[in-house]
Amino acid sequence: MSTTSVRPARIGPARAVRLPLAAGGRLLRLELRRNVTRWMLPIVAALFWLITYRPAMAYPPLWNVRAMTMQTSAPAAFVPIVVGAAAWLGSREARHGMTDLLSGAARPRWVRQLASWAATTCWALVAYLGCVAVLYVSTARQGAWGGPLWWPAAVGAASLPAFSALGFAAGALRPSRFTAPLVAVGAFLALELTAQFIHGDHSPWQVSPLVAGPWETGPDQGVATFYRYLPDLPVVQLMFLTGLTAALLGVLGLPAGSGGRWLRGGAAALAAAGLLAVGTATALAGTGQLDPHGMIAVPALHNPADDRPVRYRPVCGDAPIPVCLHPAYAVHLPTVTAALNPVLGELAGLPGAPVRIEQAPATYRQGAGNEVGISRADPAASGAPPTLRILLPVQLGRSLSTDELAVQLRTSTARDILSEVIGGDRRTTTEAQQAVAEAILRTATLPPGSPTAAAAHRFGALPPAARRAWLTQHVAALRAGRIALAELP
Cα distances (angstroms) measured from residue 25 to each of 20, 110, 119, 160, 226: 8, 15, 11, 21, 47
Instruction: Give strand pairing partners of 375.
Output: 363
Q: What is the pLDDT of residues 233-248, one digit of tens each?
A: 999 999 999 999 999 9
Mean pLDDT of 12-16: 46
List pLDDT tens digits, range 27-79. Answer: 788 888 888 888 989 999 999 999 999 999 988 888 988 998 899 889 889 99
Number of H helices, E strands in the chain: 16, 9
Tell whether 419 and 432 lie within a shared domain.
no
> Residue 102 domain-assigned?
yes
Instruction: Tell me, yes or no, whether 109 and 184 share the same domain.
Output: yes
Kindly report, residue by residue over 338-359, the tens digit of the pLDDT.
999 989 988 888 888 888 999 9
Does residue 296 form part of some domain? no
pTM for the model stands at 0.84
Show which of 400, 423, 446 is a domain's final residue.
Answer: 423
Answer whether 352's CB lies under 8 Å from 479's CB.
yes
Asked whether the beta carbons of 414 and 388 are under 8 A apart, the reply is: no
What is the total count of domains within the chain? 3
Please provide residue 137's backbone torsions phi and psi, each rounded to the nearest 5 degrees.
-65, -40
The interaxial angle of helices 109-141 and 261-285, nearest 10 deg, is 40
Residues 368 and 410 in one domain: yes
Task: Answer yes or no: is 171 within a domain.
Answer: yes
Residue 13 lies in a domain: no
What pLDDT score does 401 carry?
81
Which SS3 state, helix, strand or coil, does residue 459 take? helix
Domain boundary among 402, 423, 444: 423
Residues 352 and 261 in one domain: no
Q: What is the pLDDT of residues 188-223, one digit of tens each?
A: 898 888 877 777 678 888 899 988 876 544 566 778
Q: Which residues pair with 389 in a beta bridge?
A: 358
Q: What are residue 227's DSSP bridge partners?
A: 309
Domain that holds residue 137: 23-289
